[in-house]
Homo-oligomer: A and B are copies of this chain.
Amino acid sequence: MAVNKVSADQRVPSVAEKRTEQIATAAVALFSERGYVPTTIEDISNEIGVGKGLIYRYFEDKRDVLLCALCAVLDKYKKEYALALLDTLGPVAALRRVLAINCALAQEHAKEVTLAYRSTKDLMPEQRHKIMAIESEIVAEIRECLEACIATGLMRPVNPKIMAYQFLMFGHTWALKQWALSDEFSVAQFVSEGEQLLIVPFLTASGRRKFDAAGKIANDAAARVAPKTSPRRSRSR
């Protein structure tokens, strides 16, 4: 009997890989909750019930753990974006999805987004550049989507790089300013307002038509938004 025949594809993660991931996961949770500096290596090791020395078998030092934690967050972002930009959707629908998913992620991972803004500076320059590179890739994907919209005449020309950052930051704003926004808006409302501020005003007539048609699809994506934080007072506009 050939065990693990297809192990190349469906790899059984090695013990080491599982540990690394286990530690990174715990680190993301604790760093996000308490911040990088106040969280001790021992906190992390206790979280997963191992000795503190073990962390150092899998990571260089505490900074290295932070790097991995931040990469893990960004990678989750990247993975979701890739799904958002499926060719099957037209570029306008993709744009709506990007916005919706961006906000959904910001909702689900508000702590992690905040962590990135708090702690990237605690890394060494080289590590920081790594993080910045991943963010740049994400922005580049959004930008391509925007440029597709413009190229196909669905959107009026706008500066694609700055607009891409507007899309990214809109989600981050939800995470960073949740304390001021979530008592008035649900994520769904926030996404909806975002479309009115970041997409609709820039569409051409044909773009507009696509947008209306894409309504359903985008709403599906929006449905992903976990309604964990129910707005206390709903007072839209």
Contacts and interface: CB of A to CB of B under 8 A. Distances in A.
A174 to B, nearest CB: 10
Contact of A165 (B37, B135, B173): B173
Contacts of A132: 179-180
Interface in A81-126: 114, 117-119, 121-122
A117 B139 CA distance: 20
Nearest to A236: B159
Contacts of A202: 201
A157 interface: yes
Output the residue of A122, A157, A184, A237 with the most chain B CB within 10 A: A237
Nearest to A177: B165
Contacts of A185: 162
29 contacts: A35-B121, A35-B122, A37-B37, A117-B117, A118-B118, A118-B121, A132-B180, A135-B180, A139-B180, A158-B196, A159-B236, A159-B237, A160-B237, A161-B181, A162-B181, A162-B185, A162-B193, A162-B197, A163-B197, A165-B173, A165-B177, A165-B180, A165-B181, A166-B170, A166-B173, A166-B197, A169-B169, A169-B177, A201-B201
Interface of A: 35, 37, 114, 117-119, 121-122, 132, 135-136, 139, 157-163, 165-166, 169-170, 173, 176-177, 179-181, 184-185, 190, 193-194, 196-197, 201-202, 236-237
B139 A176 contact: no
B157 A237 contact: yes
B180 A173 contact: no
Given A139-B180, A165-B177, A158 B114 contact: no
Nearest to A150: B237
A37 B160 CA distance: 37
Given A158-B237, A162-B194, 9 more contacts: A117-B176, A118-B118, A132-B180, A158-B197, A159-B193, A159-B196, A162-B185, A165-B181, A166-B170
